A = this chain, B = another copy of it.
Amino acid sequence: MHFAQRLQNVETSAIREIFKLLGTPGIISFAGGFPDAALFDVEGINAASQQALSQHAGQALQYGPTEGYMPLREQIASTLRAQGAAVQAQQLIVTTGSQQALDLLGKTMVSPGDKVLVEGPTFLATIQCFRLYGADVVSVPIDQDGVQVDVLEQQIKEHRPKLIYLIPTFGNPSGAMLTLERRKRILELAAQYKVLVVEDNPYGELYFDAPPPPTLLTLSEQVPGSRDYLAYCGSFSKVVSPGLRLGWMVAPDALLANAAMCKQFSDANSSMLTQVTASEYLASGRLPAALQRVQKVYAERARVMMRHLDECLGDALQYTAPQGGMFIWASLTGAGGGSRDAAAFVKRGVEKGVAAVPGAPFFATHVDHSTFRMSYASVPEDKIIEGVKRLAQAL
């Protein structure tokens, strides 16, 4: 059988290798990217689901509008307005997880050979998703303050990209947070070069001590013309539950209309049962308390992981201290003559009973082989301590 040419653009063996490792019994896994299921508000979601099926069964069990269940769109828009962004329900669509928003952006925007700029490192499913549409994905370097805007401008001039994809707040895998100043600069670049910027924000609510700077979406009010070149993706997966499989995308009118048309032929509409359930859950008012619990637990786990990394691995490791989100991104410094090969280090870790993710697949270009990602989100504190000890043994 001859498959489509586009499949030749993707390379998934690195990811498969990682997941094969995770089956080892007794392993402590920092490799996942899942939220902690123990923190889901099961009672609240169950109540919302029953409400959906007793009060709105006809809608919840039927096909629905491709753009999404209107009461849910209204609630999402209202939440964004509360964050200072001028968004109406008609300016967003509901998607089957925010992964689908990325897929629809690829389908709507990317022709084979088009350049796409991403952070180096970035979410690896984004790289593959855009490559499936023929994108030539280029990594732009980041530091602890997010993407380096001067390099970004050079790359825009050099590559004339179709779009720029960023996770400005608690990036995956970087944990980095883009500063307010850089956020504004990026919006200026979008308007100046008329290039679409995609702000992916699944982790923004998961801050530890202080809220992050306003989103690009909110800040776009202050930068004339920038909103015309901004798409914003959000998700219920990290704050309510991935099981609902719901995200959303705010975008300029013409882009949104084309994305909705593509969605019609991708999956017709997202599950109405989970959309009505999500809407009832938001209406129940239980989300803020549930979110606070998650913030508190993740913050404490992050602190425990950092403290023990410092104690046990010392200057062999360099990492960005996350201010929110789910990830610590680290690199081997080679201090004391140690190896800087993170893939080999991760393999030794698995032999010692702890898993992390080697950093290489998170780079579209300019791979840094000394890097790896750890998530503390779904690992209890005693396991974090034991896991870090095993990492130290693997050094």
Contacts and interface: CB of A to CB of B under 8 A. Distances in A.
Range for the number of chain A residues in contact with chain B: 35 or more
Given A3-B108, A271-B245, A125 B46 contact: no
A58 interface: yes
A196 interface: yes
Contacts of A109: 1, 3-4
B268 A267 contact: no
A277 interface: yes
A253 to B, nearest CB: 10
Contact of A97 (B6, B10, B50, B268): B268
18 contacts: A1-B229, A1-B254, A3-B108, A6-B107, A10-B265, A40-B62, A46-B57, A49-B49, A60-B243, A61-B241, A61-B244, A96-B96, A96-B270, A99-B267, A243-B271, A245-B270, A266-B266, A274-B274
A59 B40 CA distance: 11
Interface of A: 1-7, 10, 12, 34-35, 37-38, 40, 42, 45-46, 49-50, 53-54, 57-64, 96-97, 99-100, 102-103, 107-111, 114, 125, 128-129, 132-133, 162, 194, 196, 229, 237, 241-245, 252, 254-255, 258, 261-262, 264-274, 277
Given A37-B57, A37-B61, 18 more contacts: A1-B229, A1-B255, A7-B108, A7-B258, A7-B261, A10-B265, A42-B61, A46-B57, A50-B50, A64-B243, A96-B271, A97-B268, A99-B265, A243-B271, A245-B267, A245-B269, A245-B272, A273-B277
Interface of A is mostly: helix
A273 B244 CA distance: 6
